[in-house]
Amino acid sequence: MLSSREVEKKKNNKVVEVGDVKVGGEELVIMAGPCAVESREQLFEAAHRVKEHGGQILRGGAFKPRTSPYSFQGLGEEGLKLLAQARERTGLKIVTEVMDSEDIDLVDSYADILQIGSRNMQNYGMLKKLGRVDTPILLKRGYSATIKEWLLAAEYIIAHGNPNVILCERGIRTFETATRNTLDLNAIAFIKETTDYPIIIDPSHGTGKRSLVTPLAQAGISVGADGVIVEVHPNPKEALCDGEQSLKPAEFANLVIKLDKVAKAIDKKLAV
Amino acid sequence: MLSSREVEKKKNNKVVEVGDVKVGGEELVIMAGPCAVESREQLFEAAHRVKEHGGQILRGGAFKPRTSPYSFQGLGEEGLKLLAQARERTGLKIVTEVMDSEDIDLVDSYADILQIGSRNMQNYGMLKKLGRVDTPILLKRGYSATIKEWLLAAEYIIAHGNPNVILCERGIRTFETATRNTLDLNAIAFIKETTDYPIIIDPSHGTGKRSLVTPLAQAGISVGADGVIVEVHPNPKEALCDGEQSLKPAEFANLVIKLDKVAKAIDKKLAV
Amino acid sequence: MLSSREVEKKKNNKVVEVGDVKVGGEELVIMAGPCAVESREQLFEAAHRVKEHGGQILRGGAFKPRTSPYSFQGLGEEGLKLLAQARERTGLKIVTEVMDSEDIDLVDSYADILQIGSRNMQNYGMLKKLGRVDTPILLKRGYSATIKEWLLAAEYIIAHGNPNVILCERGIRTFETATRNTLDLNAIAFIKETTDYPIIIDPSHGTGKRSLVTPLAQAGISVGADGVIVEVHPNPKEALCDGEQSLKPAEFANLVIKLDKVAKAIDKKLAV
Amino acid sequence: MLSSREVEKKKNNKVVEVGDVKVGGEELVIMAGPCAVESREQLFEAAHRVKEHGGQILRGGAFKPRTSPYSFQGLGEEGLKLLAQARERTGLKIVTEVMDSEDIDLVDSYADILQIGSRNMQNYGMLKKLGRVDTPILLKRGYSATIKEWLLAAEYIIAHGNPNVILCERGIRTFETATRNTLDLNAIAFIKETTDYPIIIDPSHGTGKRSLVTPLAQAGISVGADGVIVEVHPNPKEALCDGEQSLKPAEFANLVIKLDKVAKAIDKKLAV
């Protein structure tokens, strides 16, 4: 595979640059924000808290992949505009999902990172088209994709021209039902050892429970991830999606403090 | 859910009409053909054998979802044209996969049934657009989708305007590695009991082994499926994809004879 | 492996004799009865109905493996005595579970077939001791055991001296939650093709739902199983375990009629 | 369930005392040693290195559960005697597996902790008998057991009289094949939050690869485990089992140094 680490291990990992934020380098990156962009007030409040407490990149969905056709589907382009405004106000970069190959150009005109969700990891038509832009791609692992399938999905993007792929482990589907998914931290260590991709973890989707996000984020940093992406909402109880796994701003602040300590214990540091 | 069977069970299932072929009615439908359209000779030979031995619908991929970007990706529109020619010559209807929402109109201009593959079952952008055509949709189950997620994917199509959905169980991903997938026949019985969708099985992908296709096809009919879709290739050893699970024409002929007997044992019959 | 079928396929399968009942031969065997032996009345009523409607072997648990320590654990030796009395009254053979290696001799003094449950499939201490008796063993597949692990568990018994192993597919654990387990019929076809073991299916545990037992039993026979084992209870609503998956006697009678038709369609017949 | 943490969270966790070693208290415990006791030289060398580099408890199997009946099955009581001698020489406590309920008294006469392996987690006959001793039990999670099933297995032991249960997460079976198992660190966080059991992790079985053991051990400590159990062998290349996942002594020394740093970052410390 194109990106496989040689037997003689490389000294440096691949670094994907998102403006002046580097993913995969010496500093760990924190991406945070609400599951969905719901309103100007909600998004701006979230963005300010993410910036204040140490995040570099704002997440938020404008197009939402929902299992049911009757669930909230996102604000669409209006959501993208709000994200761009939040970027202007805070200086945060923005990462947001593109759900359909026809929307790539639209989302690309607003976002700093294009997120490909778990359900689209093997949407090969879309992957090929993502090869034609040079915006960084956050490629989430399919919830039942093997590591090999995931790396081959990444190669679709690279082979079609865009080398800027960041992987994101977000939990796999197993028989366990106590947690929403099973965060596969073996995968982080395996990928860091055998490839040069930057890789981050998503403990929010990986656990589905607010109280488990911080310990799993700590574990993810300890095992070698280049950063985390977490859901933060000003008022999780009223969130239109994923409220039960979203951190409150004060919990997010506490998370960053804890990750800073763990990072230092393994001779890394947060981007801050 | 829209299509849920009422507690008081319905007397009749929903029938999806593909021209004069009815899927979900009293007669069991057989769809067969090669994994991929490879050439005029290969496709026409397969089509004639499918027709001769009792199939109603010809399958064949023009756009192929391949795990690796370096594998054969299909002939594209040229493959669609060959399928249309095979239809003219044999009278078979054709079913072929649409892999990208941008290709829906193109594929729809040739096909009698639009197939949505396992990896795109939750490609909601595409599902919504499929609601805008009225061509029948063959919705394959995602290889790790729950029955509930699958039915909700079907409702995306229906809720956006196209009621002509045929489900296809093609095996789920489990820990077992002796077979390519695990064909979930529980799902057939469960769906026949609780919904009114027509549903067929794909024992070729469901097992990944030629020698297991016929017994599992028999099982699928016994459990209540409305038909089967199987891979048939004039020369499986030289197939560009899925050769090890493709039946030879003589094996296909034998399959149809066996299915005919099993169908009668449960008071059904083949469409012939 | 000891029991692997040679490349040149054998003409005859291995037949395990349970008195005058042959498992793995030309006639399909039906084992039926309650999940647990609950009382004399319950067991005798079940046994008479099983005999009347065409079963050859009576199932019923005296020692019950329950996930919770607070659930009904079985009648123990009293249950074994009731099973022996039911055998005398009806002429049915009896199959019952041994849960602990210390109980092998006790259960063996009553039973015609010793059942090893899913949770003990890899209890190697017990498997070795089962090699020292010559009573037939019904080895249920571990709910997450690969086919290879299952066949190696069978070889533990054979390698220690007891060749009389009957396999039983009872459903595997997958991500699907709509049914209790996923009955793996691929495994039946695969094992019939590659080994000479007799193998039966358990659609009661394999589905967990009464209404799905009959269609899956039909599928199991169609795919090549040598028989079925099903739960039958005189009054499922009051069963101490597995009531929701137990057939009523009339449903069992209907099941046998349907299996008879399917058997004939594949040129087999029921033992009757 | 007996051991469920109250809604009002308890201030103290349950501590299981293994002589003067406390599992579940303020200090993190390290258990290490070879997969199997192979010889006096191998075991004593391993024991001395474990002691020298900071372990408190020596692991080593005398009775080995092997998938194949033709693999090395362990030295039996001779292995137990060697473990007892290694304890005398080093002062380490010993943990070793009991594979059969008939061996409980024998193993209990040598061991400080009785290990119940993954395949026996639901061997309820054995669990009940383990309730009659008061030696600490290391209850490994079944490789496909849900957290709930695991906690109920622990309650079997407790309900029958032995409160000294230590849980051990050792990886679950998933579709992923790049690693031997998938270490479920969600489970550690979930169990620490909802119960008062001490719980350790086994990154050796959890990954199956030597190079992944250290990062996953770090992750396990970060997420809240009370200790680790790892395989260490003087010469992994010649190990009779699990050589590819066993650390060399120098790697073990390095592991302890790294865990010490991670422990401090989360305000804990190693037992040392």
B173: chain D residues, CB-CB within 8 Å: 175
| Alpha-carbon dihedral A239, A244, A250, A254, rounded to 10 degrees | -150
- Provide the residue range defining the domain that includes B140: 30-266
pLDDT in tens, D125-140: 999 999 999 999 999 9
Please compute, for residue B237, the number of CA atoms within 13 A of its CA located in the half-sphere on the CB side: 0
Residue B160 in domain: yes
Start-to-end CA span in chain C (Å): 34
Looking at CA atoms only, how far is residue B38 from chain A in angstroms? 20
Interface test with A, best of D188, D199, D223, D257 (most A CBs within 10 A): D223
pLDDT in tens, D109-167: 999 999 999 999 999 999 999 999 999 999 999 999 999 999 999 999 999 999 999 99
pLDDT at A207 over 50: yes
Residue in A67, A99, A122 nearest the CB of B149: A67
Q: Hey, what amino acid is at A229?
A: I
Which residues 227-246 of chain A have a CB within 8 Å of chain C?
A: none
Instruction: Please state the φ and ψ torsions of residue C140, each to the nearest 5 degrees.
Output: -75, 145
pLDDT at B193 over 60: yes
Looking at CA atoms only, how far is residue C136 from chain A in angstroms? 33
Residue in A144, A173, A175 nearest the CB of C173: A175
Token reading at A88: 């202007």
CA-closest candidate to residue C138, choices C161, C113, C106: C113
Closest chain A CA to residue B145: A144
User: Mean pLDDT over residues A39-60, rounded?
Assistant: 98
Beta bridge partners of C138: C115, C166
Residue in C67, C99, C149 nearest the CB of D125: C99
- Integer angstrom CA distances of residue B186 from B146, C180, C195, C203: 12, 10, 25, 9
pLDDT in tens, B45-69: 999 999 999 999 999 999 998 999 9
Closest chain A CA to residue B65: A124
pLDDT at position B214: 98
User: Mean pLDDT over residues B5-32, rounded?
Assistant: 82
Residue B271 in domain: no
Closest chain C CA to residue D100: C125
A175: chain C residues, CB-CB within 8 Å: 144, 173-175
The distance of Cα B211 from the centroid of its chain, to the nearest Å, equals 19
C140: chain D residues, CB-CB within 8 Å: none
pLDDT at position A13: 82
If pLDDT is split at 50, 70 and 90, which confidence band does B20 have?
very high
pLDDT at position D12: 65
If pLDDT is split at 50, 70 and 90, which confidence band does D13 have?
confident
- Cα separation, A171 vs D35, in Å, equals 30
CA-closest candidate to residue B99, choices A100, A6, D211: A100
User: Mean pLDDT over residues C165-180, rounded?
Assistant: 97
pLDDT at C217 over 80: yes
Cα three-residue angle A21-A27-A29, rounded to 5 degrees: 55
- Cα separation, B121 vs B135, in Å, equals 17
If pLDDT is split at 50, 70 and 90, which confidence band does D5 have?
very low
Looking at CA atoms only, how far is residue B249 from chain A in angstroms? 31
Residue in A99, A149, A159 nearest the CB of B125: A99
Residue with tokens 């997958």: C174
- Could you say which DSSP state residue A182 is in? B
Looking at CA atoms only, how far is residue A73 from chain C in angstroms? 25
Residue with tokens 């359900």: A119
Neighbours of chain B (3+ CB pairs under 8 A): A, C, D
Q: Note whether B70 contacts D: Cβ–Cβ < 8 A.
A: no
Cβ within 8 Å, pair D125-C69: no
- Cα separation, C184 vs C170, in Å, equals 8
Please compute, for residue D65, the number of CA atoms within 13 A of its CA located in the half-sphere on the CB side: 22
Residue C168 in domain: yes
pLDDT at position C272: 73
- Cα separation, B107 vs D104, in Å, equals 67
Cβ within 8 Å, pair C65-D122: yes
User: Mean pLDDT over residues C230-251, rounded?
Assistant: 95
Token reading at B16: 């999806």
pLDDT at position C12: 65
Residue C229 in domain: yes
CA-closest candidate to residue B233, choices B247, B252, B253: B247
A187: chain D residues, CB-CB within 8 Å: 176, 178-179
Q: Are strands D16-18 and D21-23 parallel, antiparallel or unpaired?
A: antiparallel
Which residues 125-154 of chain B have a CB within 8 Å of chain C?
A: 144, 146-148
- Cα separation, A151 vs A155, in Å, equals 6
Token reading at B7: 């507690």
Closest chain C CA to residue A174: C175
- Asked if residues C134 and C162 have their Cβ atoms less than 8 Å apart, the reply is yes
Cβ within 8 Å, pair C144-D143: yes
Token reading at A240: 């239109």
Q: Note whether C86 contacts D: Cβ–Cβ < 8 A.
A: no
- Cα separation, D63 vs C169, in Å, equals 29
pLDDT at position D111: 98
pLDDT at A10 over 90: no
Start-to-end CA span in chain D (Å): 34
pLDDT in tens, B146-190: 999 999 999 999 999 999 999 999 999 999 999 999 999 999 999
- Asked if residues D137 and D130 have their Cβ atoms less than 8 Å apart, the reply is yes
Residue A270 in domain: no
pLDDT at A272 over 70: yes
Cβ within 8 Å, pair C177-A174: no
- Asked if residues D171 and D143 have their Cβ atoms less than 8 Å apart, the reply is yes
List, in sequence order, the alpha helices (H) in D224-269. Answer: 249-265
If pLDDT is split at 50, 70 and 90, which confidence band does A205 have?
very high
pLDDT at A17 over 70: yes
- Asked if residues D219 and A219 have their Cβ atoms less than 8 Å apart, the reply is yes
pLDDT in tens, A226-270: 999 999 999 999 999 999 999 999 999 999 999 999 999 999 999
Residue A10 in domain: no
- Could you say which DSSP state residue A261 is in? H
Which residues 171-210 of chain A have a CB within 8 Å of chain B?
A: 173
Residue C8 in domain: no
Q: How many CB pairs under 8 A join A and C?
A: 8
- Cα separation, A155 vs C216, in Å, equals 42
Beta strands in chain C (DSSP E): 16-18, 21-23, 27-33, 57-59, 93-97, 113-116, 137-140, 165-169, 199-201, 227-231, 269-270
Looking at CA atoms only, how far is residue C187 from chain D in angstroms? 17
Neighbours of chain A (3+ CB pairs under 8 A): B, C, D
Number of domains, chain A: 1
Is D135 buried (19+), middle (13-18) or exposed (0-12) by CB count in 10 A?
middle
pLDDT at B12 over 90: no
Token reading at C17: 């004799």
CA-closest candidate to residue D186, choices A123, A51, A208, B42: A208
**SS3 letters across chain B:** CCCECCCCCCCCCCCEEECCEEECCCEEEEEEECCECCCHHHHHHHHHHHHHHCCCEEECECCCCCCCCCCCCCCCHHHHHHHHHHHHHHCCEEEEECCCHHHHHHHHCCCCEEEECHHHCCCHHHHHHHCCCCCCEEEECCCCCCHHHHHHHHHHHHHCCCCCEEEEECCECCCCCCCCCECEHHHHHHHHHHECCCEEECHHHHHCCHHHHHHHHHHHHHHCCCEEEEEECCCHHHCCCCHHHCECHHHHHHHHHHHHHHHHHCCCEECC
B191: chain C residues, CB-CB within 8 Å: none
Interface test with C, best of A175, A176, A180, A182 (most C CBs within 10 A): A175
Cβ within 8 Å, pair C124-D66: yes
Cβ within 8 Å, pair D174-B175: yes
pLDDT at C195 over 80: yes
Looking at CA atoms only, how far is residue C268 from chain A in angstroms? 37
Q: Note whether B100 contacts A: Cβ–Cβ < 8 A.
A: yes
Is A48 buried (19+), middle (13-18) or exposed (0-12) by CB count in 10 A?
middle
Q: Are strands A16-18 and A21-23 parallel, antiparallel or unpaired?
A: antiparallel
Closest chain A CA to residue B98: A125
pLDDT at D46 over 50: yes
Cβ within 8 Å, pair A262-D265: yes
pLDDT at C96 over 70: yes
Cβ within 8 Å, pair D224-A215: yes
What's chain D's average pLDDT?
94
Beta strands in C56-136 (DSSP E): 57-59, 93-97, 113-116
pLDDT at position D157: 98
User: Mean pLDDT over residues A159-177, rounded?
Assistant: 97
CA-closest candidate to residue B210, choices B163, B243, B164: B243
Token reading at D183: 């270490």
Please compute, for residue A253, the number of CA atoms within 13 A of its CA located in the half-sphere on the CB side: 9
Altogether, the residues listed in chain C come to a count of 272
- Cα separation, A172 vs C198, in Å, equals 36
Looking at CA atoms only, how far is residue B67 from chain D in angstroms? 16
Long-range contacts: A43-47, Cβ < 8 Å, 24+?
A: A43/A82, A43/A83, A43/A86, A44/A82, A44/A85, A44/A86, A44/A89, A45/A234, A46/A232, A46/A233, A46/A234, A46/A249, A47/A86, A47/A89, A47/A90, A47/A92
- Asked if residues D29 and D226 have their Cβ atoms less than 8 Å apart, the reply is yes
Residue A26 in domain: yes
pLDDT at position D272: 73
Token reading at B251: 């094996």
CATH number of the domain to which C229 belongs: 3.20.20.70
Token reading at B127: 């599902």
SS3 label, residue C255: helix
CA-closest candidate to residue C114, choices C129, A17, C125, B48: C129
- Asked if residues C209 and C242 have their Cβ atoms less than 8 Å apart, the reply is no
pLDDT at position A171: 98
Cβ within 8 Å, pair D212-A218: no
